[in-house]
Amino acid sequence: MNDFLQKLPGFIGNNTALVALFAILLVALIVMQISTLFSRVKELSPAGLTLLINRETPLLIDLSAIAEFEKMHVPGAKHVAMSQFDPENKDLAKAKELPVVVMDKDGRGNSVKAAQRLVKAGFGKVHRLDGGVLAWHAAQLPVAKGNR
Q: Residue 127: helix, strand or coil by DSSP? A: strand
Mean pLDDT of 15-44: 88
Q: What is the pLDDT of residue 147?
A: 80
Q: What pLDDT digit, counting tens, does each position of 54-103 carry?
A: 999 999 999 999 999 999 999 999 999 988 898 888 878 788 889 999 99
Asked whether the beta carbons of 128 and 39 are under 8 A apart, the reply is no
Q: Residue 80: helix, strand or coil by DSSP? A: coil
Please state, rounded to an integer, the average pLDDT across all residues of the chain.
Answer: 91
C-alpha pair distances (Å), 47 with each of 37, 42, 117, 131: 19, 14, 25, 12
How far apart, in whole angstroms, are the C-alpha atoms of residue 42 and residue 81? Answer: 22
pLDDT tier, 36 (very low <50, low <70, confident <90, very high otherwise): low
Question: With the CA atoms of 44, 49, 53 and 58 taken in that order, what torsion angle do they form, in degrees rounded to the nearest 10?
Answer: 40
Residue 39 has pLDDT above 80, yes or no: no
Asked whether the beta carbons of 146 and 71 are under 8 A apart, the reply is no
Residue 126 has pLDDT above 90, yes or no: yes
Instruction: Classify the phi-psi angles of 11: left when phi > 0, otherwise alpha if psi is within -120 to 50, otherwise beta.
Output: alpha
Residue 148 has pLDDT above 90, yes or no: no
Beta bridge partners of 129: 44
Nearest to 58 by CA among 42, 36, 40: 42
Q: Residue 37: helix, strand or coil by DSSP? A: helix
Task: Supply the pTM of this predicted model.
Answer: 0.75
